[in-house]
């Protein structure tokens, strides 16, 4: 068996019970190798966010198996004890809304996680600045979140998700608030992170500008996944 960055087998999630139960995920199967960026595409309500939340250990699935790296994390129940450590050390989340900390400047919003992980303040800020530069927002390094445009806030939140170099990055509509060039810049940096740090990355999107960049796409419809070869168009 190939070492997977992410392996999901027969994943199911039911919300509620009885007459009002909703089967958000019915049969999800995905394999994402380290270094790969895949698209996850599907209509509204098809289970995309639920899937990312299950994989990110924010929502508990109902059945199936999930593996990150060589670690089985879920097998019809959580098989690892410390879900908080899993989220902190293994998963980088990028959301549609940026959720920055309002009383920290841009640099410290990004540097906070590596500082908490034990890096010196100077090293953490250096890593933060490198990513801010790559995301074309380093000129706002000393600004407060409230002073940024929506697009700038989003790029800062992407830097924050990447700074600890998590092996798994989960992005839920990350380019929604960005224009075409900036959306492609985000995809470029995600591909760079995937290659450089062997991260496995899932990007939920219906953004027509970025869908052609994926080499592989999982379609999700009615809680079930179907794999498809993407265009893998060169965008660099
Ligand atoms: N916490 C919840 N409680 C009950 N139903 C939920 C909850 N979260 C999502 N759902 C339902 O699960 C289905 C999939 O939702 P979601 O994963 O948000 O879809 P998507 O992100 O593809 O739009 C929808 O029918 C939604 O209403
Ligand atoms: Mg969603």
Does residue 52 have its Cβ closer than 6 Å to ligand 1?
no
Q: Whose CA is nearest to atom 8 of ligand 1?
A: 50
Query: How many angstroms separate the alpha carbon of residue 176 from the centre of ligand 1?
Result: 19
Checking phi first, is residue 57 left (phi over 0); if not, alpha (psi -120 to 50) or beta?
Answer: left
202 CB-near residues (< 8 Å, 6+ apart): 6, 30, 32, 38, 40, 52, 55, 169, 170, 171
Does residue 225 have its Cβ closer than 6 Å to ligand 1?
no
Query: How many angstroms separate the alpha carbon of residue 229 from the centre of ligand 2?
Result: 23
- The answer to whether the CB of 36 falls within 8 A of the CB of 194 is yes
- The answer to whether the CB of 37 falls within 8 A of the CB of 194 is yes
From 222, 229, 228, select the one nearest 47 (Cα to Cα).
Answer: 222
- Other beta carbons within 10 angstroms of residue 84's beta carbon come to 9
Q: Whose CA is nearest to atom 18 of ligand 1?
A: 49
Angle between helices 121-134 and 106-116 (to 10 degrees): 130
Please determine, looking at this structure, whether the domain spanning 36-56+83-229 carries the CATH number 3.40.50.2300.
Answer: no
Q: What are phi and psi of 174, to 5 degrees?
A: -70, -20
Does residue 44 have its Cβ closer than 6 Å to ligand 1?
yes
- Other beta carbons within 10 angstroms of residue 41's beta carbon come to 21
| Strand partners of residue 66 | 8, 74
| Strand partners of residue 217 | 39, 228
- Give the rounded distance of the alpha carbon of 1 from its chain centre: 24
What are the pLDDT tens digits along the chain (236 aa)?
455 699 999 999 999 999 999 999 999 999 999 999 999 999 999 999 999 999 999 999 999 999 999 899 999 999 999 999 898 889 999 987 778 999 999 999 999 989 988 899 999 999 999 999 988 899 999 999 999 998 899 889 989 999 988 999 999 998 887 888 888 888 988 998 899 889 999 999 988 889 999 999 999 999 999 998 888 887 66
Query: How many angstroms separate the alpha carbon of residue 44 from the centre of ligand 2?
Result: 7
Q: Whose CA is nearest to atom 24 of ligand 1?
A: 45
pTM of the model: 0.90
For residue 13, give the ligand nearest its CA.
1
Q: Which atom of ligand 1 is nearest to the CA of 46?
A: 22
| Strand partners of residue 168 | 91, 200
| DSSP, residue by residue, 172-234 | ESTTTTS-HHHHHHHHHHHHHHHHHH--EEEEE---TTTGGG-SEEEEEETTEEEEEE-----
For residue 24, give the ligand nearest its CA.
1
Domain ranges within the chain, ordered by starting residue: 36-56+83-229
Q: Whose CA is nearest to atom 7 of ligand 1?
A: 15
Q: Whose CA is nearest to atom 27 of ligand 1?
A: 45
- The residue count of the chain comes to 236
């Amino acid at each position: 068996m190939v070492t997977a960055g992410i392996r999901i087998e027969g994943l199911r999630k039911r919300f509620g019970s009885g007459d009002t139960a909703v089967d958000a995920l019915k049969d999800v199967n995905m394999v994402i190798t380290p270094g790969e960026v895949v698209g996850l595409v599907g209509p509204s309500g098809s289970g995309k966010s639920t899937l990312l939340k299950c994989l990110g250990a924010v929502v508990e699935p109902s059945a199936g198996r999930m593996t990150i790296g060589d670690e089985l994390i879920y097998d019809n129940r959580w098989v690892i004890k410390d879900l908080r450590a899993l989220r902190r050390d293994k998963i980088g989340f990028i959301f549609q809304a940026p959720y920055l900390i309002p009383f920290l400047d841009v640099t410290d919003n990004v540097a906070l996680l590596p500082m908490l992980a034990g890096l010196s303040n100077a090293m953490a800020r250096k890593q933060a600045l490198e990513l801010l530069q790559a995301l074309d927002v380093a000129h706002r390094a000393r600004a407060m979140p409230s002073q940024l445009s929506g697009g700038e806030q989003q790029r800062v939140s992407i830097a924050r998700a990447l700074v600890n170099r998590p092996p798994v990055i989960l992005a839920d509509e990350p380019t929604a608030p960005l224009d075409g060039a900036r959306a492609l810049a985000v995809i470029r940096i995600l591909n760079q992170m995937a290659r450089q740090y062997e991260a496995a990355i899932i990007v939920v999107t219906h953004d027509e500008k970025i869908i052609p960049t994926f080499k592989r796409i999982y379609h999700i419809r009615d809680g079930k996944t179907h794999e498809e070869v993407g265009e893998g168009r060169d965008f660099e």
